[in-house]
Amino acid sequence: MRVRGGAENELPRISQIARIFEAREVENRAGVPGTSPARHSAGSPETAPQGAPFAGLLVVRDRTRRPAYELPVTDPSPDRTDPQAAPNQGEKIEAHTPLVATAHLPAVGGRIGSELEHFIVEELPLYEASGEGEHLYVFLEKRGATTQDLIQAVARTANVRPQDVGAAGMKDKHAITRQWLSLPATARPPEDWELPEFATLLERSRHRNKLRTGHLRANRFRITLVDVPAGGLERARAVVAELSRAGLPNYYGAQRFGRHGKTLAQALQWLRRDTSEDGARRRGGHGRHFQTKLLSSAVQSEIFNRYLTARLGCAEPLLTGEVVRLDGTGRHFVVEDVAQELPRYEQGDLHRTGPLLGPRTLQARAAAAELEARVLEGLGFGEAELATLGRAAPGARRDLTLHPEELEVEEPAPGLLVLSFVLPAGSYATQLVRELTRAPWLEPY
């Protein structure tokens, strides 16, 4: 794959995408005093960089511009090998299969064990509870239950409404997970609680505010692989060393798209159905809002995954017009001078990002905007679909690559491997595991 030349011919289409989301932002913020829509220009015409061919061999380079790994492309289906390939009329669009970053190394094999103890997750909060304040903070362990199950149980025994219980995020059901919840001042004290067998109170404190979605720094994982062929530890150490050096592509995991990708199929149907004239009449209600949020997130995730694969196919470490994040902050900006910003990128001060499309998404420009536009074209999205997505999702940017922290592997017994690592909030542990097992992407774990 290469970012094709003739970027000046793409500018009207790129500008149109920006105008669609800008118009949606005006609509979403209309009547709010003191607000104005964010304005992003498509930039000036520039010659797009020439990257390595996508089909046949994918060359991915690290921060020093040396080849980090080479990935042979073996799946010939258009939507899996080329995220920019436009679908044929009436063709079903399937979830894009992410690349395996360590495909040049031998597979470790094995699978995630079926016992609850084989998948352990501990939440690392964005901030520590201060010990003072009106909100009760409780740290709980749950086994084989969803976070909603936990919230319902805690609300019932604490005599509060479930909607008054705060959580930073949802945790896996078939696992042992530990996370914080917050309760209002009216909650019954924990010493009077009667929790179900799947829940255990580990710690409590107090704080000034309610826990909300996103109040989460990272998650600590301990995952056991079973049925690992002989020599697995040596192979696993090679994969772990490579991921520690070059990083892990920050793909959304298969869970985001539902069992066998059904959520994505529903999301694409919703997106196209809702562009019809009576689409607005079908919207409304709490249940509809939740469903719309779920479906729009699946669409955003699919766009991001396809963009990430397309971006990995470009030899250039930075593109003109690319949106990057400043390390240690949530600040994003557009790269205008690649030569000026490249040293900062190579030092790890800048992180490349991909789009979670919506009216508040900082728009890429020039060559990077062309690449994003081609990914949308590959999905067959036009103005109507983008406008519908803009009504449902505000938009953001997401890092393309992450570096797992405290990544270690051990072999407690023959045929068993234990992986320990920390991933930032919103990243998928199953994507890291897939680098070792090479399990089919949509195979349920």
Please report, for the domain that includes residue 202, its CATH number.
3.30.2350.20
Q: Is 117 exposed, middle or buried (0-12, 13-18, 19+ CB in 10 A)?
A: exposed
In a shared domain, residues 162 and 16: no
Residue 221: inside a domain, yes or no? no
In a shared domain, residues 147 and 199: yes
Nearest residue to 153 via CA among 117, 196, 121: 196
pTM greater than the 0.75 cutoff: yes
18 has pLDDT over 80: no
What is the model's pLDDT at position 84? 63
In a shared domain, residues 246 and 101: yes
Domain residues for the domain of 183 are: 127-214
In a shared domain, residues 317 and 208: no
pLDDT tier, 443 (very low <50, low <70, confident <90, very high otherwise)? low
Question: Is 62 in the active site?
Answer: no
Residue 70: inside a domain, yes or no? yes
392 has pLDDT over 70: yes
pLDDT tier, 64 (very low <50, low <70, confident <90, very high otherwise)? very low
Structure-block tokens of residue 392: 């449902």
In this predicted model, which residue has the larger pLDDT, 196 or 284?
196
**For 157, left (φ over 0), alpha (ψ -120 to 50), or beta?**
alpha
For residue 317, the 8-state DSSP code is: S
Catalytic residue from among 75, 79, 149, 172:
172
In a shared domain, residues 267 and 375: yes
What is the model's pLDDT at position 102? 97
What is the model's pLDDT at position 65? 42
Q: Give me the phi and psi of 123, to 5 degrees please.
A: -75, 135
Average pLDDT in the 20-33 region? 47
In a shared domain, residues 335 and 368: yes
In a shared domain, residues 263 and 373: yes
Q: Give me the phi and psi of 152, to 5 degrees please.
A: -60, -45
In a shared domain, residues 263 and 323: yes
Q: Which of 40-44, 267-271, 314-318, 411-415 has the lowest mean pLDDT?
A: 40-44
What is the tens place of the pLDDT at every residue in 252-299?
999 888 888 888 888 888 887 765 544 444 544 445 677 888 899 999
32 has pLDDT over 50: no
The alpha carbon of residue 379 and the mean position of all alpha carbons in its chain are separated, in whole angstroms, by 19
399 has pLDDT over 90: yes
Average pLDDT in the 46-72 region? 37
In a shared domain, residues 284 and 378: yes
Residue 80: inside a domain, yes or no? yes
Residue 21: inside a domain, yes or no? yes
What is the tens place of the pLDDT at every residue in 102-143?
999 999 999 999 999 999 999 999 999 999 999 999 999 999
Q: What's at 97, amino acid-wise? A: T
Residue 349: inside a domain, yes or no? yes
For the chain, the domain total comes to: 2
3-state secondary structure of 283: coil
* Rounded (10°) angle between helices 383-392 and 11-29: 30
Residue 346: inside a domain, yes or no? yes
152 has pLDDT over 90: yes
